[in-house]
A and B are shown apart, each in its own frame.
Chain A
């Protein structure tokens, strides 16, 4: 199987996000960047499929040169190759543009791909849109937010989380699958893997060289403002024994907050 895994470099989830309001952007200084957590499940699943069925795993990232570190993490986990689609554009929160870059890459550089794996959602932009958009642009079926994946010959099934239930999706290959926590337990990199990843050359393809038409590469999202959440007033601490506190709390929820 020829498996492509798309990964994104994002601030880790423990990061405090500071905002540069003038630039309408997140201040990057002091942030610790990691591979988006859901993407690790995608990499792991690709490695398991390769181990079971043979083939190769290529990890691809659309992003700045710093994303090479993200790609090396996936190489250290065991991916065969990595490619950076170098994009110097700052985070623009526009999933269509990213999906068009990815679809263009697959069509022109790796048209034999059987499976495109993504994380369910990148941390930060929180769109959860690129996998479905890339699937549509390529005419592939999709299974999103997947907690179990089985591939048999040229088709597959996946379990996908919906509200209070699980959907079983049947699809033919090539397909797009996005990974959710629960799909697997991502492996740790081995020292040997880390050393090998360091030595690997990662080809860099500037996004401009993919040959997207200018209107396809143009952003459609026009940011008006970026704000921190409104500061919250300190809450009330309810004193007393557990019984007294519970009674006072329930009274407050009914009479003051009016939520029960």
Chain B
């Protein structure tokens, strides 16, 4: 079996977890194996998951799992893995997946394939591809020990369409001893108004040094507000100048992203920035300098003043998206 850990936030299943489950289903079918899911969260979320066609949804419940902790969740999943002996365990490469995946792998005595952008079946085994050096190179490899634990980059793997529910929900109480968990989430604080992170956004509207100052990032926020599932990103120099928080930084020392559409406004395209966003499906660059390296990475470029282009773009986008 390929087991996919399903992450819930506020009781809702994360889209990136469904992407991981979708990929698990495709690869499991190729291997002739079932694809099951494991979830910590409300019973309704577990039941709802059946329409994505897992052979079973293991609904894990224990007092020690009330708040997220990598330690407790790793214990619960390792306990399940010992029982069901999966060939592989997939997790979404989210903040939680990147926190929990390696801990779970170490508990099972196996290494990990982190932040994969491709999973394939070769000679009856799984082969993983992932960007290294933030996308300056791609490593393809297999994992010798079983189960193969992998985190899958959000926004890369296509979702399967929901179908008539098959499978069943299996309720389990994993053995997680009270007191064994020594660190947990005590509280979740939300950034004001911010709902979508650059790592998960379908569209990223990024600004660099050409934005000239913190006040002009409002222009990007306005643009992002028009677009569906869009977030504001930034180059390192904009973040280092204190124009916007570092959580927005895209690049080798920030976040590596793969949105459907990436706008680079006033970003020259330093190699460390390009590394972090060049796997975006479509890249648009707007820059005054026709020689800026960003234009080599872009699918569409406008050489011009971004302060004139952004308002025009807002008008056009509003018009087109309303159609």
Q: A residues engaging B (CB < 8 A)? A: 11, 13-17, 19, 26, 37-38, 93-97, 99, 123-137, 140-145, 147, 157, 159-172, 175, 180-182, 219-229, 232, 234-238, 242-243, 245-247, 249-254, 257, 259-260
> Are the CB atoms of B140 and A224 closer together than 8 Å?
yes
**Min CB gap A151→B, angstroms:** 13
Which DSSP category, helix, strand, loop or mixed, fits chain A's interface?
Answer: mixed
Q: Tell me whether A222 and B142 are in contact in the complex, defined as CB-CB below 8 angstroms, given that A26-B133, A95-B102, A132-B70 are known contacts.
A: yes
> Are the CB atoms of A182 and B246 closer together than 8 Å?
yes
**Min CB gap B65→A, angstroms:** 15
> Are the CB atoms of A142 and B186 closer together than 8 Å?
no
Q: Tell me whether A123 and B133 are in contact in the complex, defined as CB-CB below 8 angstroms, given that A96-B112, A133-B102 are known contacts.
A: yes
15 of the cross-chain contacts (CB-CB < 8 Å) are A11-B133, A95-B102, A123-B253, A126-B132, A136-B71, A142-B99, A142-B103, A144-B99, A163-B9, A163-B196, A166-B188, A225-B139, A235-B283, A253-B300, A259-B261
B79 within 8 A of A: no
Q: B residues engaging A (CB < 8 A)? A: 9, 68-71, 74, 94-96, 98-103, 105-107, 109-112, 114-115, 122, 127, 130-145, 181-191, 194-197, 199-200, 203, 227, 239, 245-247, 249, 251-254, 256, 260-261, 270-272, 275, 278-279, 281-285, 290, 295-305, 308-309, 311-313, 315-317, 319-321
> Are the CB atoms of B137 and A26 closer together than 8 Å?
yes
**Min CB gap A215→B, angstroms:** 9
Docked CA distance A135–B105 (Å): 12
Q: Tell me whether A161 and B139 are in contact in the complex, defined as CB-CB below 8 angstroms, given that A220-B145, A246-B312 are known contacts.
A: no
**Min CB gap B6→A, angstroms:** 15
Which one of B69, B252, B303 has the highest number of Cβ atoms from chain A below 10 Å of its Cβ?
B252
> Are the CB atoms of A227 and B137 closer together than 8 Å?
yes
> Are the CB atoms of A161 and B247 closer together than 8 Å?
yes
Q: Tell me whether A132 and B278 are in contact in the complex, defined as CB-CB below 8 angstroms, given that A140-B182, A142-B183 are known contacts.
A: no
